[in-house]
């Protein structure tokens, strides 16, 4: 059975996104009065009063650039919440944001989508990740929110 590791948005990428996001816009920090925003920098929900920002992020484009791949039409960017300032990153290794419907989307080494699976709950997300990464044609997986289609985190073999 394949083991895996969950990856937040990398600190060097976060630094870039806080300067200018993947759509070329400057970050606009806000105080999150209610809390509950899924933060991709530390893979937890924001607490009331934290300073956060919604930035545009292109995870597949960045992966492809780093790995010499060309995602072609699969390249997309979308909104992600991050802390407005540097944070400590994740404080655990569990599966974050599994309390709602999620799409586990599989990608090839060329950055092409190989398929996806709709799941809900920690056990189902875990099972879908293991199943996906047991397939040798799968290079990595993105977990996405169904309601908005947003990227939540990347998963790779450990």
Confidence (pTM): 0.94
Contact present, 57 and 151 (Cβ < 8 Å): yes
Q: Where are the domains of the chain?
A: 4-83, 101-157
Contact present, 2 and 147 (Cβ < 8 Å): no
pLDDT at 68: 94
Contact present, 23 and 79 (Cβ < 8 Å): no
- pLDDT of the chain, 158 residues: tens digit per residue: 789 999 999 999 999 999 999 999 999 999 999 999 999 999 999 999 999 999 999 999 999 999 999 888 989 999 999 999 999 999 988 899 999 999 999 999 999 999 999 999 999 999 999 999 999 999 999 999 999 889 999 999 99
Contact present, 146 and 118 (Cβ < 8 Å): yes
Residues in the chain: 158
């Amino acid at each position: 059975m394949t083991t895996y590791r969950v990856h937040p948005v990398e600190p060097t990428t976060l630094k870039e996104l806080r300067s200018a996001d993947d759509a070329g816009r400057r970050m606009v920090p806000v105080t999150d009065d209610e809390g509950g925003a899924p933060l991709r920098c530390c893979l937890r929900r924001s607490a009331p009063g934290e300073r956060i920002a919604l930035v545009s992020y292109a995870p597949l484009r960045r992966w492809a650039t780093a790995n010499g791949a060309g995602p072609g039409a699969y390249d997309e960017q979308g909104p992600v919440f991050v802390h407005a300032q540097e944070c400590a990153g994740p404080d655990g290794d569990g599966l974050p944001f599994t309390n709602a419907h999620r799409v586990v989307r599989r990608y090839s080494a060329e950055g092409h989508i190989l398929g996806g699976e709709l799941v809900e709950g920690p056990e189902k997300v875990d099972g879908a990740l293991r199943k996906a990464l047991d397939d040798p044609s799968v290079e990595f997986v993105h977990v996405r929110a169904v309601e908005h289609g947003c990227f939540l985190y990347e998963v790779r073999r450990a």
